[in-house]
Amino acid sequence: MTARPAWLGKRVLPQGPSGFGVPRPTPPLLRDRRFATIDILSRPSSKSFVSTMSEVPRDVLRRSTWRPGCPVTVDELTYLTMSFWGFDRERHTGEMIVHDSVAEEILRVFQRLYEVRYPIEEMRVVTFREQRRWKTHPTGDTNVTSSLECREATLGSSWSEHAYGLAIDINPFHNPYVRGSLVAPELAGAYRERDSRPGVIVEGDPVVAAFDAIGWGWGGRWASFKDYMHFSQSGH
């Protein structure tokens, strides 16, 4: 584990014609990224997997990306909290907003990831402010595991599965979106190569197997481009 650098999330990249930041070589400190988790919820007191499932609290909804006009109603969403292991080899509590229809099976997936101690850097609700900042001032080094994001599909014009809470991105920096020369996050080029570094998702590993068990598809299997972070109910 290495110390989280003070510049993380602060060095803005120039934007390219696609709207993404211009890719830059992966900084040496991020080539084998293993930062400690910043806790936003109390750490679990039990060594066993602990989870909760509830309506989305008003304060959480306000800081999320949900807004009137999103393709899912608040009543169709569920707020989850759950135990996870960080790269610091400590237990943490994460949060996630998902579609109500998949809440229980998502908890089963993350219980399995907890059992095999798959490391996650951050698991929390993406905020509206963050989403806007990533679009206008990209830093290319985000690594938030999350589900609900009321937005269009990447380089698309229709709603993303994330807008319904029916998709999850896991450790995006370790598992980037790769499409030709485009890499997102933009500093994650060192992770185009899939190997055994902690946090990397590869075919046949426990992460893919856990989502396979609930019938979800993985973006690492797509033919024309790869979205290694992405799992969704529809497979898209």
Domain ranges of the chain: 49-232
pTM confidence score: 0.94
Torsion angles phi and psi, residue 28, rounded to 5: -50, -35
Residue 135 pLDDT: 66
Consecutive sets of 10 residues in the chain, 236 residues long: mean pLDDT of each?
A: 90 86 94 95 95 97 93 97 97 98 98 98 87 75 96 75 96 96 95 96 98 98 96 92
Residue 85 pLDDT: 98
Spell out the SS3 assignment of 136-176: HCCCCCCCEEECCCCCECCCCCCECHHHHCCEEECCCCCCC
Residue 52 pLDDT: 98
